[in-house]
Amino acid sequence: MVHALEEARRVLVARGELIDLRPLADRWVVEVASAHGSEEAGRLTDLPQGLADDAAANGAMAHGEAVRLFQRDREEQFPLHYVWDSPKEMQDYLQGEWADFIDISEDVLQRLRSIWAVADADARVRVRAKMLITRWSKVD
């Protein structure tokens, strides 16, 4: 990843900016949400690969800052909601797209199904991901 940062710096114009936008492993909340509110069913389990990816990205950015490739200007975290129509849709998505990074325990899945079964007709299954956005300036 350090090579990618060096290449990004090379192609940026003077005083150019790099935006680092990515999800952070943080045992994301699983909930059922409707117009009347939301109820948490539990949290997803972070798997070693996702934690390792976060550590590698954080390490690369710290290295880029230490060797003055980039200067951190501003950093924030914010939630991003992934939404599905049913627990089954969510489970299929997790198994297909995120299987290497996160997992859902049987206990959380069972609680999610129970909450879903008695929820309002407009209820959706939601995962609240933690996102990081950082603005970096090219150091000349």
What length does the chain have? 140
118 pLDDT tier (thresholds 50, 70, 90): very high
Q: Is 99 helix (H, G, I), strand (E, B) or coil?
A: coil
Question: Is the per-residue pLDDT at 2 higher than 90?
Answer: no
What is the token pair recorded at 49? 């690969």
Q: What pLDDT shows up at residue 122?
A: 94
- Across the range 33-43, mean pLDDT stands at 96
How many CB atoms are closer than 10 A to CB 86? Answer: 14
DSSP type of residue 20: E
Report the mean per-residue pLDDT for the chain: 95
- Domains in the chain: boundaries: 2-138
64 pLDDT tier (thresholds 50, 70, 90): very high
Question: Is the per-residue pLDDT at 94 higher than 80?
Answer: yes
E strand or H helix at 111? helix 106-117
118 contacts 32 by C-beta, under 8 angstroms: no
